[in-house]
A and B are shown apart, each in its own frame.
Chain A
Amino acid sequence: MSGGAHGRSKGLNGWLLSLPALVLLFVAASGPLLIVAVYSFLEKGDYSGVRWIFSGDAWFRVLFEKDIFDGTVSLADANLSIFWRSVKLSLATTFITFVLGLPTAWFIATRAAKARAIWLFLITIPFWTNLLIRTFAIMEVIRNQGLLNTALINLGVISEPIQILYTDTAVLIGMAYVYLPLMVLPLFAAIDRFDMRLIEAGYDLYASRWLILRRIILPIIKPGIVAGCILVFVPSLGAYVTPRVLGGGKNMMIGNFIELQFGQGQNWPLGAALSMVLLIVVMGALLLYTRVSSRDDPHG
């Protein structure tokens, strides 16, 4: 408040009070990431672990493979298809959750105060419910003897159950299901701040409902849309539990592929390099988000 030497002691107190949290997070969250970075430049050990010899091999093998007989270099098709599946499924998940999430957030934000609190609570319960439990729940619905197939057979729409479980479709349905609340909440926050009188002004100036949505509402709530998309895209890209349970082992995403290197694959440096790739992509997305949101935020 009064600047000068006073301000410096406030900063010192701030650091001292934050120190225990910072130490905890350094020891059990950030610090180990540095070890991962180091491991990605080492040689793989015989069974697991590493040999302390510098090597760019792990990074090379993220994208390429060398024929063990004639030494020709080619793109690692298996890896590329996993990356492509991860990006494709994450984009599709983001799209589906947006299409469902925007009307849902709008619906909640336009309720009367009391009802709104209840609808909002109904969205937050799945948000806080164990990811594994929600994945189990969607599995109950889509498996061959599950709710969906049984209902369709009983209605006479199909005669044989459709195989959804253990396909990319299952992973997509599962991710859209578990990440929907992550899309709704930031959209709700943006719509909640939206001044509904602007819609009245729009109608007054002869705009149709569609034009009001496209030309007034969407541009103004754009920061919320970007936030929701990032919040869904980022965990989708790093998803592990949902593809493992619903993809059934063969429809891997990056997360599962990383785990494989520390399990049966026994290639820790490659796993470390893949982790770094995932981390860099996610950080890039978050950086993009802070850029966009600081530029678009009308509140400065």
Chain B
Amino acid sequence: MSETIAVAARNVGKVFGAGAHTFTALGDVSIEIEKGEFFTLLGPSGCGKTTLLRCIAGFETPTTGTIELSGRDITHTPPNKRPVNTVFQSYALFPHLTVAENLGFGLKMLGKSRTEIDTSVARVLALVQMQAFADRLPQQLSGGQQQRVALARALAPEPQVLLLDEPLSALDLKLRKEMQGELKRLQIETGITFLFVTHDQEEALTMSNRIGVMSAGALLQVGTPHDIYERPVSRFVADFIGETNFLEATVEDGGVRLGSGDVLAVPPSGRTGTVTLAIRPEQIKIGQDGLSARVVATTYLGTDTHYTLALSDHSTLVARVQSNSGADLKPGDAVHVTIDAQSVQVLAT
């Protein structure tokens, strides 16, 4: 099994500071990332995702636990001895070196020959389509170009794992979209394992094979983008990824009873007593039958319109409806809604 695992963290904990002033950045995190995978660590800032990345890169030493690379324990190996490279959030391009010198830096430190270096530099320059900029200095490049150079520099030594620390956060929206596609293409072309860190859920959903959602130093859920979006295991995951309505309910035979008295025939969850339902706005349909509700507010968003609806017990739901669907509702209108019970997630309160 371990032949397919590129990098693994086993019971990794990290505590910063000493004495009375300590901060636990990582609790007890275990994760296995498979070879050739595009894996994303997703979470809000301060959740520990960057700390985990830095532990794998070797910039931090875990307080507890071990880091393995292809089955080999590298917990105490210094960063310059790990076949792992990083694309930094700030790019960290050496300002005194040209693009080509930046790209060749890692290979030069590894003691490769001049010709080997030149060949590799030419290869990665072509990979990111920056051949025309080989002799420029980093400050003569635009943000997007610097990003490509940073990427190429980390790819040049052909690492076993490429670590990407929020590399797109400094780019504007249009460029960011472009680079998302570019990153995915590079990952498939090179076959290198990518470990990507971001706080942007959309970025995570579009690029990854698998996502690990983190919060407060703990790994909450690991799964495919589809799993994470459709079957969040906790209220935090459901709330962090996409928009979600939360409703209190009690479990009964054959379903759950809402505060409004209505019963929803959700699939059996094994939970009893009071639960929280997670319902995506697109899973709520406004029509002629179903639960009675009243429109409280409408928000026009272009393609879609959001309707905030109040049920009979005054609990509120947001429904997303395509703007051109003809349903032109106003605050105060009485409506009926149906909820796709099969897609409702039943979570612990």
Query: Which residues of A pack against B, CB within 8 Å?
Result: 1-4, 7
Decide yes or no whether B109 CB sits under 8 A from chain A: no
Chain B, residue nearest A7 (CB): B18
What DSSP secondary structure best describes chain B's contact surface? loop
Q: Give complex CA distance A2, B16 in Å.
A: 6
Shortest beta-carbon distance, A81 to chain B, in Å? 59
Q: Please give 7 more A-B residue pairs, beta carbons under 8 A apart, in addition to A2-B60, A3-B19, A7-B18.
A: A1-B16, A2-B16, A2-B61, A3-B16, A3-B17, A3-B18, A4-B18
**Count of chain B residues near A, Cβ 8 A:** 6
Shortest beta-carbon distance, A1 to chain B, in Å? 8
Shortest beta-carbon distance, A8 to chain B, in Å? 11
Shortest beta-carbon distance, A11 to chain B, in Å? 14
3 tightest A-B CB contacts, nearest first = A3-B18, A4-B18, A3-B17
Shortest beta-carbon distance, B338 to chain A, in Å? 56
Pick from B16, B18, B19, B60 the residue with the most CB of A within 10 Å.
B18
B residues near A4, Cβ cutoff 8 Å: 18
Q: Give complex CA distance A248, B61 in Å.
A: 69
- Give B8-42 interface residues, CB cut-off 8 Å to A: 16-19
B residues near A3, Cβ cutoff 8 Å: 16-19
Chain B, residue nearest A5 (CB): B18
B residues near A2, Cβ cutoff 8 Å: 16, 60-61
| Cβ contacts B43-69/A at 8 Å (1 or 0 each) | 000000000000000001100000000
Q: Give complex CA distance A4, B19 in Å.
A: 9
Q: Give complex CA distance A2, B60 in Å.
A: 9
Chain A, residue nearest B14 (CB): A2
Pick from A1, A2, A4, A7 the residue with the most CB of B within 10 Å.
A2
Pick from A1, A3, A4 the residue with the most CB of B within 10 Å.
A3
B residues near A1, Cβ cutoff 8 Å: 16
Q: Give complex CA distance A1, B16 in Å.
A: 8
Shortest beta-carbon distance, A5 to chain B, in Å? 10
Chain A, residue nearest B16 (CB): A2
A residues near B17, Cβ cutoff 8 Å: 3
For this complex, 10 residue pairs linking A to B, each with C-beta atoms less than 8 Å apart, are A1-B16, A2-B16, A2-B60, A2-B61, A3-B16, A3-B17, A3-B18, A3-B19, A4-B18, A7-B18
A residues near B16, Cβ cutoff 8 Å: 1-3
- Give B137-186 interface residues, CB cut-off 8 Å to A: none
Chain B, residue nearest A4 (CB): B18
Shortest beta-carbon distance, B79 to chain A, in Å? 14
A residues near B18, Cβ cutoff 8 Å: 3-4, 7
Chain B, residue nearest A3 (CB): B18
| Cβ contacts B229-266/A at 8 Å (1 or 0 each) | 00000000000000000000000000000000000000
Shortest beta-carbon distance, A33 to chain B, in Å? 39
Q: Give complex CA distance A2, B22 in Å.
A: 10
Chain B, residue nearest A2 (CB): B16
Q: Give complex CA distance A2, B17 in Å.
A: 6
Shortest beta-carbon distance, B21 to chain A, in Å? 9
Chain B, residue nearest A1 (CB): B16
Chain A, residue nearest B61 (CB): A2
Q: Give complex CA distance A168, B186 in Å.
A: 79
Q: Give complex CA distance A219, B16 in Å.
A: 41
B residues near A7, Cβ cutoff 8 Å: 18
Shortest beta-carbon distance, B271 to chain A, in Å? 42
A residues near B60, Cβ cutoff 8 Å: 2
Chain A, residue nearest B19 (CB): A3
Chain A, residue nearest B60 (CB): A2
Q: Give complex CA distance A229, B52 in Å.
A: 52
A residues near B61, Cβ cutoff 8 Å: 2
Q: Give complex CA distance A7, B19 in Å.
A: 13
Q: Give complex CA distance A7, B18 in Å.
A: 10
Shortest beta-carbon distance, B278 to chain A, in Å? 39
Q: Give complex CA distance A212, B17 in Å.
A: 46
Q: Give complex CA distance A258, B208 in Å.
A: 79
Q: Give complex CA distance A3, B22 in Å.
A: 10
Chain A, residue nearest B22 (CB): A3
Chain A, residue nearest B15 (CB): A2
Shortest beta-carbon distance, A2 to chain B, in Å? 7
Q: Give complex CA distance A213, B19 in Å.
A: 49
Q: Give complex CA distance A191, B102 in Å.
A: 41
